[in-house]
Structure 1
Amino acid sequence: MSNQMRVLDFGDGSVPIQLDYPDSKIFSKCSSYGDRVPGTHWNEIAVHHNGRLEYSPNPEQIIMDALYQATDGADFFPVFYQRGKNVDTMLARNCKAAIDKLFKQRLSINLEGGASIPISIQLGVAQYRRDQITPTFHIARVVTRLMKQLIQRDGVDGLLNLDNFGGHPEFKNLVVSLGNPSILMNVCQVIHNDDNERFRLNGFILSNNRIRDIRPLTLLSNVDYALLDLRSNKIKSAERLCRALEQFRARELLLENNPIVKISNFPANIKSLESNFELVDGKPFNMLHKSVSPLDVEIDLEVDGARIDTNNMWKLPEFENSQHWHAFFIPDPIQEFNQEVFFDFFFIRLDPTLSNFYPCYYKYINTEHVFLVRNCFDQIAHLVNNCNLEMTIPTGDRIFRYYLRMNVSTVKQHHVDPEECIQKAVSQCYVAQNRMLNLERFHSRECLKDVMVSLSSPKILTYVLSVASRKFMTTCSEIRLCHNKILVLDGAHVLGMMGCLRAVDLSHNWVQDLSSIHSLGNLPLKSLVLHGNKLCRNYRLPSEYVRAVKEVFPQLTTLDGVDLQTNPGQSLQKNFLCDTGAYELTPKILQRLSKYNKHARNLRNKDYSKASDGVFIGSTYIVEILLQLPRVTHDFHSLQTDVMHYDGKGAVIYVAGLLRDEPPSTRNGHGGRTDIGDVLLGFSRQFVVTFDEANLGLGKRARRLKIANERLHITNPSKTAIRNAFSVNFPDLSERQVEEDSLDVKDHKLLLFQEVTGLISTWVTSIVEEADWDFERALKLFIQKNADHEIPDLAFA
């Protein structure tokens, strides 16, 4: 605090302030100013931070927030704020109540983080003269001007825009923040007293003002507004918020980015405002705890937007510059495809050189797949003009024709922003302990539930990697990209900023050949995992595979988890699919193997003249033979599965592994021979499977499999197989406790049962409850009751 005489001329036409410091007394660490009287003259307040806030993003804001908290709503309008290395100073007048509260705290203020900083006050440093700078006058002038310049946002007119109010250039010599309750009260008084403009107001935008207490808004109550925007403030207390807005009414209240929305009992703690506001952050009160799609509450798909189909594609250019949401409608009457499979097929027709395509708010509605997109007109034009609004299914060469509705909704503040979601998801994927970025199954992250992010798109993959590279430039040493359906990685150069990156996992993707990931060769990688990609099947021998990879990545020391320096050869692939179309078939066979294969045995006949005796023909005879074999347990961890042939009509599946011949409990009844018992054996089985019938089940999507032929072979297991036998324990599913269905699951069972049977709701509930909510038992019970004529005609809708 300097006591040198100075003249402050603000250059705004106001009379300069002459600082002459007639009273040299400086108060600090005390609770009273004795016989001095603050009066109406200028006082100087100094904050002695001693450089503790040097690296804070906005030290002035931190200090002023602490002062506003300390003065607790008393009139306090600082001017001429000066930053210093160790001390910050400001002037204020007509603030006796505020000064009293500062003295009551022994001239100390508490920062938000809990630290305490001393302040000092020197009273009467300059005499007040008429026409000197007056904060309330400047504030009133800016508010009056803004009331004559009301804005429109999201289709709502008549909004008073007070966003970041303290940032107006007219306040360059003042300290203005609506986080100061006295300034917010002053603003509300100006609005309330302006009878000429007040009745034109339809809402208030008060975002980005660090507001904690909105009590002054009670002056503007008892009027029906359209909007109250309080986003990005410091509102924490639900009790104070509800009390302040008790008489305030508006169609929508915006509270996003306030501490109150992160409290565990939000939104229940503001339920008293339910009659005051229809929407909070774009959602009805009863849906605040859920992620609400615009398709549910904002968009009428029957009337909103302009339809574009094959009959009027020429209208599409009208929407070239539109920033609004556009809706896609792809018919699928029996919901043949789930969301993931549907997008796998839809993305085939996208042009990878055009804009990123982010489907948002996907939903299956009335036999159609529906989603929203925006800011990708070139892709839409490609799908309309070049693809003729057709989605092709490669297997079977089927075509699904679809249509669009353009401009179905404007973009609202609470709507999803795909790139913001991606940035958030990438941040959540980093595991600091292992210095690893785990992007495995990236599209399934919780914060991406409203947007479909497909890393099969090279441009989107490059964007995700660029975000990761900027966020973890000096820390990340490993990236996992497995299970992302990646076809091409041609943007790996963006990872060049990651100076510590040494390992990349690309396993279980759709990479066809090494040229698709050639750009990774420019990185100093030591470890690479490519297992589970089609490119691995391009080589007959492991040595050929290793040699080809080393040509692109000569610096590698580890490939697919194998140390190339000590073990230059590679282990063979455990499971093999000749055609990815057979993927869903394999687990079904394995799930049933334990039941179908309960009694495996070596039936080889050493007498070759009787070799045909080991071949059994006819389902009845085969089952009879199988039932004669002893009980065995399979080591499922040892199983290796190869699908050697698949053509959509049938498949050849080869399963090999280890089994244990269990100790006998009884004699088998065929010659009195005792089973071997407790012996480890190797086995291999070859199944020839055909699809016997299709379009079965409630959804008409099931297929019946028929085993047309099988070969069973028993061998002595290797020493390694015996050593690793049954090293992994699998839970016994028969002992698993069945959890009681949730209310949502029960509701869905009732609806589905009603749709299948056609019964009225009372009968549906009665039968399903009688079956203990077991859907299969309920259907059998219904069939039995109907056959016994126990269900009257009145029970059917």
Structure 2
Amino acid sequence: MRRVRWHSEGHRDKSVWRKRTPVEREMGENTHDGTPGSWFRVTIPCGMKYDKTWLMNSIQSHCSVPFTPVDFHFLQTGAQFFVQEASTACALMDVSYKICDEERRKVCIPVFVGPSPVPYSVRDKLQPEEMEQLKLTLSKRYNIFKQALDLQRLRFDPDLVGHDIDIILNRRSCMAATLHVIEKNFPELLSLNLSSNKLYQLDGLSDIIQVASMVKTLNLSENELKSVWELSKMQGLKLEELWLQGNPLCSTFADQSTYVRAIRECFPKLLRLDGQELQSPVTLDVDTPYIVKPCKHIFLGSDELKSLVLQFLQQYYLIHDYGDRQRLAGAYHEEACFSLTIPFHPEDPAPSSLCEYFKDSRNMKKLKDPHLWVQLLKHTKRVIVHTLCGLPKTQHDFSSFVVDIWFQMETMLCFSISGVFKEVEGSCQGCVRAFTRTFIATPGGSSVLCTVNDELFVRDASPSETQSAFSIPMPTPSSLSQEQQEMVQAFSTLSVMKLEWSQKCLQDNEWNCTRAGHVCSMLKTEDKFPEEAFKEIP
């Protein structure tokens, strides 16, 4: 049996990959008809956290063949689009884990590729005579003097109904056709009215950023939008006026100021909301050593805020446990502070089980020398990372984590996490510790949050904590949902691991494809997987 070799970046060694059955043939055998022109679904599990334009440009630049993405849309956390031809799908598979961010750091974005039915926008594409009628209808609704297009209740327009043309703008084929007419006939569009069209998602409309980027006024009132998350797909527009009244999302905010603040997170230049003039955005003229980038998804009491914090913690502990801790510098502000504390026992000032932490412990109850107070407070991210690299190697039990977001302002977020971990090297290898950690962070930086203060408390785990640590059982295949089974199959294809090992890797990482991909790549690089985990390669 022979395993695939992996480079340090986490992608497959091409010299081995080329000895496999040609990818075009493998994919052809798994498509619906096996003929040229078959369709493939491309999924980026963590795609939602990246800007659409940057993500697609990055994929295009790393792909060995040019391609045209069809039906790009965001999933709950990921992104998805479709391509045609097996050769294109093959080239996109090689993009996985190769994309770098703007500062040339590997961001390890996995790309899953698999056979797919024909996309809806292609399957339900309007016929030429229908497109011509749609063009005539939109032309009647266009105000050339105001450069405004009124598409209110478009489906019920008599000119369309009379020709038996059903334009439902939630359908990607209908929205794509509408945007195509706009691109060809009204490229200077400034105002667009889409009210009363029962829109519940904006994936298709997000393409207007490329089609008519000059739009300043957008009316989405009296639709079915339930979350501000849908609006985040439109952030590329520099809107000055927005109408949202009559959508369910408007009733999800505690008060008007919270509502305005959330919408302005998506559209910072907004001057009018639902017809009401807004105060000019407040800017701070402060001489700070760095720029805090705006954070897209901080909304009071929302799922987006929860997702933001969990994403930060996943990235942080993935690097802390499995990667080079020097990379944790990206999670800290240049002038951040870090402190570590262990329990204080007067009769046993340096308990042997925690001796690796004692030298850095800043227990104010014990310390009498004021100079030590300052010395043990780790200041600047360089010093913090140096300290973290000196702490024992660990493996955290993600299932034990308890997270609490206990204070938030527009420019600051405070949250804490508690759980257990075990040491994996040294004299205390296998020892289980309990910890509590408190972060104070601001939006932005090279991570999803930028930490300005970090406080860590470590103690020996209690017997019950030790017994329950790392004890969540592995589900049997029959107990997996359809979505989880598909994830296992896709992960197995990408990693060349057997299904049971792919399932274990995903389960251990709480079904987070991104984190599982990181862990899998790192463990393969370090040759820590047994040979029986891999499929036989012909």
Say whether the fold is shared (TM-score over 0.5).
no
Structure number with the bigger relative contact order (C-alpha 8 A, sep ≥ 6) is 2
Task: Indicate the TM-score class for this superposition, using the shorter chain for normalisation.
Answer: under 0.3
> TM-score scaled to structure 1, two decimals?
0.19
> TM-score scaled to structure 2, two decimals?
0.28
Look at both structures and tell me which one has the larger radius of gyration over its CA atoms: 1
